[in-house]
Amino acid sequence: MSSKQKPWLLAALLTSLLIGCAQQPGTVISQPEREYEVREEVVSEQPAYTAQQLLQQASRQQGSEQQELLVTAANAALAEANPRLALAIVQELNSLQEPWLQARLPAIELEARRQLQQYHLALQKIAQSNPAEMAGSARLAFSQSAARLFQQLQQPAKAAYWWLQWDEQAAWQQAEDDSWQQLWQQLIQLDSAELEQLRHNAGARSLAWLQLSNTVRQQLGKPEAMQRALQQWQRNYPQMPVLDELPASITELAKLTPFQPKRIAVLLPIHGQLRAHAQAIQNGILAAAANQPDMELFFIDSLQQPAVIQQELQALDIEFVIGPLQRAQVDAIRQHDDWPWPTLFLNQSGLPAEPDRQQYFFSLSLEDEASQLAALFQRRDYRRPVVIHAQNASSERLAQHFSREWRAYGHQAPELYGFAGRDELEPMIARLLELEASRQRVRQISQLIPGEVESEPHSRRDIDAVYLIADPTQTRLLKPFLDVSVSSTAPSLPVYASSRSHSIQADRTDHRDLAGLTFTEMPWMLTAQQSQQLRTEFDQLFPDQDESLQRLFAMGYDALQLITSLRQQQYLPALRHQGLTGELSLTADRTMRRQLDWARYSQTALQRIREP
C-alpha cells in the first residue's frame, strides 16, 4: 500500500501528534541506515534531523522513501523520549506488509511500550516476535530493550538472557554505553541454577561471560588467586574484552578481602526498657561465637552518647561493630563523619545510604515478606490479588508496601480491605466477594420467576489470591470466614500470610481453622534441619521464652555469622547466607534482604514446604 492510498496517515501525524509534541525539546540524531533488503543495510550520508523534521520530509515523499523516513522519525522520537509519537508511527506502518518494515518495527514498538511502562503489552510483543527475522540493527535494539524491560520488572535471569543476546550480536563493537556493566549487574544477581539455565543453547561469548561469573564466585575474597584466574580466563577467551575494558566492579572484586575481625564491639540497650530484647540478641551472638575461641566480644551500652561510645571503642582497639538496635541511635552514629569502624547496624536507617562507607543494615523487616509474596504472585501469574489487613499502622504500612511492589511488576494496584474489629469481618468479606450483589440478583430473579430459585449467592471469580496481614488471633477468625464465604461452585481461593500470622503457641491448638493457609516464616521458627541441634539446646535453656525474643536470638546469631561474608555479598548480590532468620542477601544500598521459608497448615499439622 503506497502513501497515496493513505493520505490521512501523514495528515494525522503532522497535525495532532506533531503539534502535541512541538513543545518537547528535539534531540538531534544521525539518520539511520537504509535497508534495501531485510538484512542489508547501508549508512546514509544525510545530515542529522529531529523527529519533527523527518516527518516534514516524509510528507514530501512517496512509497518506500516515505516509509523509511517514517521509520527513522520513529527512532528519533524514541531518542527524544517521545514514545507516544514513535508508537503512533509504528501503529500506522504496521498495516503495510513490506518485509523490511516488519523486520524493523517490533524493536521500535517494544522500546516505546517500555518507555511508556506498558509492561503487559511489551511482554506480549517479546512473546510474539522472532529476533532472527529482524534486521541487524533492529535485532540489537530489540535485545537491549527487552533486557532493560526485565531489569525494570526485577527479573534478572531474563534480563541477563537478553543482555547476552545483545552481546552476541554486538560482538565486534566497543560497548559505547553501560551495556556491559548492565549485563554484569544482572549476572551477579543469579544463583548457580539460573546461571546453568543460561548455558542452554548459549553462544561462544555468552559461555565466556558465564564462565567469568563462575570464576569470580570461586575466587572471591582471595585476591592473588582471583588475579591468576582472571588472566587465565582472558587466555581461554581471547575474543572477549580485555580485562581493562571489563566493568569496573570486576576489578574491585579482584582486590576484595573479607572482614576477619578478632575484636568486635556489640552496641545494645543493656540497661534500658529494651533490656530483654538486648539480652536475646546478646545470647544469639554468644551462641554464634561458641566455636570461635580467638574472637573477643565487648558488649557496650548503646544508650550513651556517640562520642562516649567512640572513646570506648578506641580504647578497646575494636575492629568491627555490631549495633545499635534503635533507629534513632543508628542515625546518630551515621551522622558522625569520623566513625571509622565497619558496622553492621541492627536496624534500618532514616538517612540515605552513603556509597563509600562500610556500613551495613540488618533488621527483621516485615517488608521483606511482603516483597516475597509479591514476587511469588508474579511467578504464579496472578493478576488480581486482594489484600486484607488489620487497621493499624504496621499492617497498613505492609499493605501499602505490597501494593507498591505489585505495581512495580506492571500490574494495577491490588484491592485493599481493612478491618478494625471482629464485628467488621463478615460485612467486609461480603463486600470483597460481592456477595450482596449476588443476593440482590437472586431476589430479583425470585420476583420474576415463580417457584423455587437457587438461593446460594455466588462469590466473584476474578480474584486470584488473598494476602492476609493480621496477627495470629485475627487470622484464625478471618480464614474460616473466607472459606465459608466462597461459593461452592467457585474454585478454591488461595490464602497467604506472613510470619505475623504464625505463632508456635497457637500451633498447639486445633489447625482446622487455618487449613490451607500458606505463609512465610524464618527457618528458626520452623526448626529447619540445619538448626535442629541448636534449637534443642535453646529450648532446654529458654523453655518459655516469648516468641518475639526467640526471633531476636536468631537475629543476633546471624549478625555475627554475617561479618565474614559482608564484603563479598556487597559486590556479588547472588551470594546468599543461609541464616536462622532466612536466606540473606545484600541489596545495592547495603541493606540485608531476607528470603524466608514457606509453610502451610493442613487439617492436622503445620508442614514446611517448597515454594508454593
Residue-wise pLDDT tens digits, 26-44: 333 333 333 333 333 433 3
Looking at 123-137, 382-396, 458-472, which range is the least confident one? 458-472
| Angle at CA of residue 235, ends 232 and 240, nearest 5° | 110
Amino acid identity for residue 501 in this structure: S
Which grid coordinates belong to 234? 582472558
Helix (H) or strand (E) holding 359: strand 359-361
Helix (H) or strand (E) holding 445: helix 435-448
The set of residues, in sequence order, having a beta carbon less than 8 Å from that of 35 and lying 6+ positions away, is 41, 42, 68, 100, 103, 104, 135
Which grid coordinates belong to 67? 516509509
DSSP 562: H
> What pLDDT sits at residue 436?
52
Helix-helix angle 119-128:105-115, to 10 degrees:
160
Return the closest-CA partner of residue 294 out of 263, 258, 267. 263
> What pLDDT sits at residue 169?
87
Most confident of 46-60, 516-530, 582-596: 582-596
> What pLDDT sits at residue 195?
93
In 123-213, at which residue ranges do the beta strands (DSSP E only) sit? none
Give 293-319 as a DSSP string.
TT-EEEEEETTS-HHHHHHHHHHTT-S
pLDDT band, residue 506 (cuts 50/70/90): low
pLDDT higher than 50, residue 2: no
26-38 burial: b if 16+ Cβ within 10 Å, else e: beebebbebbeeb
Which grid coordinates belong to 271? 540497661
Centroid of chain to Cα 149 = 13
- pLDDT digit string, tens, across residues 255-312: 888 999 999 999 999 988 999 999 999 999 999 999 888 999 999 999 999 899 999 9
Number of separate helices (H) and strands (E) present in the chain: 26, 17
Question: Distance from first CA to last CA of the chain, Å, rounded?
Answer: 52
| Angle at CA of residue 354, ends 593 and 409, nearest 5° | 40
The set of residues, in sequence order, having a beta carbon less than 8 Å from that of 547 and lying 6+ positions away, is 503, 504, 505, 525
* Percentage of residues of the chain with pLDDT beyond 70: 84
* pLDDT average, residue stretch 158-169: 94
* pLDDT average, residue stretch 82-104: 89
- 8 A C-beta contact, residue 612 and residue 373: no
The set of residues, in sequence order, having a beta carbon less than 8 Å from that of 132 and lying 6+ positions away, is 139
Return the closest-CA partner of residue 302 out of 321, 277, 323. 323
- 8 A C-beta contact, residue 374 and residue 398: no
Most confident of 10-14, 24-28, 503-507: 503-507
pLDDT higher than 90, residue 143: yes
Return the closest-CA partner of residue 195 out of 205, 182, 209, 185. 209
For residues 403 and 395, give the distance between their C-alpha atoms in angstroms, rounded to a whole number: 12
> What pLDDT sits at residue 351?
87
Bond from prior residue into 472 cis (ω within 30 degrees of 0): no
Looking at 12-21, 279-288, 525-534, 569-578, which range is the least confident one? 12-21
- 8 A C-beta contact, residue 283 and residue 276: no
Centroid of chain to Cα 380 = 15
Q: How many CB atoms lie within 10 A of CB 419?
A: 21
Helix (H) or strand (E) holding 343: strand 343-345
* pLDDT average, residue stretch 81-92: 92
> What pLDDT sits at residue 531?
81
For residues 471 and 452, give the distance between their C-alpha atoms in angstroms, rounded to a whole number: 43
Beta bridge partners of residue 264, listed in sequence order: 297, 320
> Domains in the chain, please, with CATH?
3-153 (1.25.40), 267-363+530-578 (3.40.50.2300), 367-521 (3.40.50.2300)
Return the closest-CA partner of residue 420 out of 390, 394, 388. 390
pLDDT higher than 90, residue 513: no
- 8 A C-beta contact, residue 79 and residue 111: no
DSSP 3-state of 420? coil
Residue where the block lists cell 510483543: 125
Length of the chain: 612
- pLDDT digit string, tens, across residues 356-373: 789 999 999 999 999 999
pLDDT higher than 80, residue 509: no
For residues 274 and 346, give the distance between their C-alpha atoms in angstroms, rounded to a whole number: 14
For residues 343 and 264, give the distance between their C-alpha atoms in angstroms, rounded to a whole number: 10
pLDDT higher than 70, residue 175: no
pLDDT band, residue 439 (cuts 50/70/90): very low
Please give, one letter per residue, the 3-state secondary structure of 194-215: HHHHHCCCCCHHHHHHHHHHHH
* pLDDT average, residue stretch 168-172: 77
- 8 A C-beta contact, residue 590 and residue 493: no
Helix-helix angle 179-187:248-255, to 10 degrees:
50
Contacts 24+ apart (CB under 8 A), 147-151: 147/182, 147/183, 147/186, 148/114, 148/182, 149/110, 149/114, 149/119, 149/122, 149/123, 151/182, 151/186
Q: What sign results for the dihedral spanned by CA atoms 361, 364, 365, 371?
A: positive
Helix, strand, coil tally for the chain in percent (to 5): 50, 10, 35
Q: How many CB atoms lie within 10 A of CB 375?
A: 17
> What pLDDT sits at residue 507?
63
Looking at 366-370, 394-398, 434-438, which range is the least confident one? 434-438
pLDDT band, residue 486 (cuts 50/70/90): low
Q: How many CB atoms lie within 10 A of CB 232?
A: 11
Beta bridge partners of residue 598, listed in sequence order: 520, 609
> What pLDDT sits at residue 586?
92
Which grid coordinates belong to 333? 552514629
Q: How many CB atoms lie within 10 A of CB 362?
A: 25
Residue where the block lists cell 503512533: 88
Average pLDDT, the chain: 84
